[in-house]
A and B are shown apart, each in its own frame.
Chain A
Amino acid sequence: MPGLTPSQTVGPFLAIGLPWPDGPFVVPEGTDGAITITGRVLDGAGDPVPDALVETWQADPGGRFSHPDDPRGAAAAPFRGFGRCPTGADGSYRIVTRKPGPLPCPDGRTEAPHLDVSVFARGLLDRVVTRIYFPDEGHANVADPVLASIGDPARAATLIAHAEHGAAARLRFDIHLQGEHETVFFDV
């Protein structure tokens, strides 16, 4: 059996190889029902991380994936589900997408709507993985098995985006790699 290839950092020069012009647009800007998720990636000193890459992966609004390992069959319409945005000088990223639907678990429970997130950067020898949940899904979030597994509600709250100026279509999600407000990261 071949041995797994180890991870290495993306280094400081990922911007020459990884950004795509359409990367931040899971759906085209202006799509009906589009939402925008913006935020900053911050280091342990609270300084912006200007050389990171944020990637998102999610279900479509019906909770389906355009993927053969979704055992429920084909999604209603193709949905890219993937977003990718390098951070700017101020550590900010921006993803335009649609809100995913809830997802069934093998044990019959339901996962609240969420995006899986990978962050790559100089100084990260492996990606770090987190999730973005939605502020208008209070009941679903309480029942979500992953949020429940975190235990400490204050820590779990680091995974819930904020509606900017109360607008459900404009969400803010900062990623604190380290420090007092460190985001919850997962062993995937």
Chain B
Amino acid sequence: MAIDRPAARAGIDLPRYERPAGVHPPLDFAGYRSTALRAPHRPLVLLPHRLTEVTGPLLGADRVTPADADLTGQHEGEPLGQRITVSGQVLDSGGRPVPGTLIEIWQPNAAGRYRHSVDNHPAPLDPNFTGVGRCVTDAEGRYRFVTIKPGSYPWRNHPNAWRPAHIHFSLFGRAFTQRLVTQMYFPGDPLFFQDPIFNSVPGHARDRMISRFDLSLTEPEWSLGFAWDIVLRGRDATAFEEQEGGR
């Protein structure tokens, strides 16, 4: 049982998480028109990592069944499209696996249409595809989804604008600081060059959002495999050692 200390008198030791620089997109990115009225204009205020920030919701195990990770098995029939497996490991930037964390994904169908009332792209809905999946990482931080390859779709950001094929990913990690929502792309997509959402990320970090075709994940005569590791913010190693030494 943990020792209950009068923390306010004794002071408390907390881990600190790294503060990433030059990886996430800027909030104000003119090429993506929807940022214009939504991105805050005033400078962000630095929030130290204290109790609320170094803790976070540890949810998932009771919210997910194994069937939630197979997006091709949620209806009576099979969805149309290229069957794929998407699998990888969730790590922190210190290389440590992140086990037991909830991953939520959503995507359009093979024709590039989301099952959502405001998606009016004139492509067919698929009665056998909802496009929503969930899983919890295993003890080594690994995850695996079976789905169909999402189609590209047009949007009205600029003339003849098309989104590269992508799957939306949402992750909690183990702390509020680690919360991440991102998109996974596919290798060799010809639409990257004109997509402001993909290109809002600094050039050196864009490849981290692109999955890798993996023959070892490819099941013979069944499905193509794509590998994608996801890296969340790590604990600040220096601060952590100082804290350990101070005990």
A59 contacts B51, CB within 8 Å? yes
Contact of A16 among B11, B51, B116 (CB under 8 A): B116
B183 within 8 A of A: yes
- Chain B CB within 10 A, most for which of A108, A123, A150, A182: A123
Interface SS, A side: loop
CB neighbours (8 Å) of B93 from chain A are 1-4
B59 within 8 A of A: yes
CB neighbours (8 Å) of B104 from chain A are 17-18
Query: Could you list which residues of chain A lie within 8 angstroms of chain B, going by C-beta atoms?
Result: 1-18, 20, 43-45, 47, 49, 51, 55, 57-59, 65-67, 69-74, 80-82, 103-108, 110-111, 114, 116, 118, 120-129, 145-146, 149-150, 155, 177-178, 182-188
CB neighbours (8 Å) of B197 from chain A are 8-9, 125
Contact of A17 among B49, B170, B182, B232 (CB under 8 A): B170
Contact of B38 among A16, A66, A71, A178 (CB under 8 A): A178
B57 within 8 A of A: yes
Contact of B45 among A51, A70, A186 (CB under 8 A): A186
CB neighbours (8 Å) of B170 from chain A are 10, 17-18
B223 within 8 A of A: no
CB neighbours (8 Å) of B56 from chain A are 57, 67, 82
Instruction: Please report the C-alpha to C-alpha distance between residue A177 and residue B24 in the assembled complex, in whole angstroms.
Output: 19
Closest Cβ–Cβ distance, residue A64 to chain B (whole Å) = 9
Contacts A10-B170, A18-B170, A107-B11 given; 4 further ones with Cβ under 8 A? A8-B168, A18-B104, A74-B2, A120-B181
- Chain A CB within 10 A, most for which of B4, B7, B9, B56: B7
A13 contacts B200, CB within 8 Å? no
A11 contacts B168, CB within 8 Å? yes
* 25 cross-chain CB contacts under 8 A: A2-B91, A2-B93, A5-B208, A6-B25, A8-B198, A8-B201, A10-B168, A12-B116, A13-B106, A13-B108, A17-B104, A17-B170, A43-B37, A57-B57, A65-B52, A71-B14, A103-B50, A103-B52, A105-B51, A108-B8, A123-B37, A125-B25, A127-B179, A127-B181, A182-B41
